[in-house]
Structure 1
Amino acid sequence: MNAKELKSILQALQEHEVAELTLETPDYKLTVKRGGEVQYLAAPAPVVIEPQAVAPAAPAPVAASSPAPAPAQASAPVPAPKPEAPKEDTSKYVEVKAPIVGTFYRAPSPDAEPFVKEGDTVKKGQVLCIIEAMKLMNEIESEVSGVVRKILVSNGEPVEYGQVLFLIEPA
C-alpha cells in the first residue's frame, strides 16, 4: 500500500463516519479506529477475526456499511488556539535556577510567611526558598542583590534541575 492509497482510504472513512476499519493483506495488517488509535504491523500476524470487525477491502463497499456513532470528543468542535500574549523581555533579569530536583517551598513552615514575595528587595546571599530533596531541606539563596520581579513556581510544586524559580532585577 502506498501513501496515496492510504490517504484515499482514510478520506473515505472520514466522509462516511466509519468508526473502525481493519484491513489485512499477506504483507501487513492495518487497523484504524476513529479517535486517534492507529496500529500498523509490517509482518503478518495471526489474527482472531470477529464478524463485526471484518471490513471490506475496497473503499466503495465501506460507504454501504452503516456508520457507527462517533465518539463525543470527535464531534465536538475544536476550539481555536488562543493567541499568545507578547512575551516579556526577561533579558534584564537574573534567573535563579533550581540547583537540584525536589519540592519547592516558599516558606520555612506551612504557617510561616514566605521568604520573599514579588516586588521584595533582596540582598546577595538572602534565602529565597527551600527545595526539599530526599527529606533534606536545601536553602536557595539569591545570587545578586535586587528586586524579585517574578516567582515562577507555586508552593509545594516539584521542580527539576535547572528550572527557573525566580527572576530578579539586579540593583
Structure 2
Amino acid sequence: MLKVQEIRELIKLVDQSSIDEFVYENDGSKIKMKKNGPATVTTVQPVIQAAASAAPAAVQTIPVAAVTPTAPAVEVKQEAPKVETTTEADTENLHKITSPMVGTFYASPTPDADAYVKAGSHVTKDSIVCIVEAMKLFNEIEAEVTGEIVEVLAKNGQLVEYGQPLFLVKP
C-alpha cells in the first residue's frame, strides 16, 4: 500500500504531465486518477488477483496512450472562447480571484443549491465565492476583495490548477 505522501507525489506528477488518466496497481491495491473530465477522481480499491509484474505495467500504459491524443484538443476548444471573451485591457483593472490549490471547482455548496456568486453579484472580503475540492476536502474560497463579480472563469465540476484565475472582480 502506498503512503499518503507517495500518493500526493503521484497526483502532482500526473497533474503536471500531459496524461489524462493514470492507473497504478500494486499488492492488491489499485489507484486510478483522471483529469480533464467532469471531475478529478482518485480511488483506492482492493484488487482480487495474483498479478504478475508485467500485467500492471500494461494496465498503466494502455489508458494513457489511448486518452492522450484526444483529450488535450477538447480542452483547448473549451477554454479558447473564455480567453476571447475578455480582452487584456479589460482585465488589467480587475482583481483575479485565483485557486489556492489544485482541485475540482464547485460554484455551489450542493448540486441542487444556487451558486454562491454569478456575474453581477456584489462580494465583500469575507464572501465565499466557491468551493475547491482537493483530496475529498471541500475548501471554501473567499473573495478577499470587495467589489462586483464581472466574470466566472471556471465551470462547475472543472479541474482547476494552483493559481488559475476563477473569477474577475471589479473592485
Q: TM-score, normalised by structure 2?
A: 0.49
Q: Which has the larger radius of gyration?
A: 1
Q: TM-score, normalised by structure 1?
A: 0.49
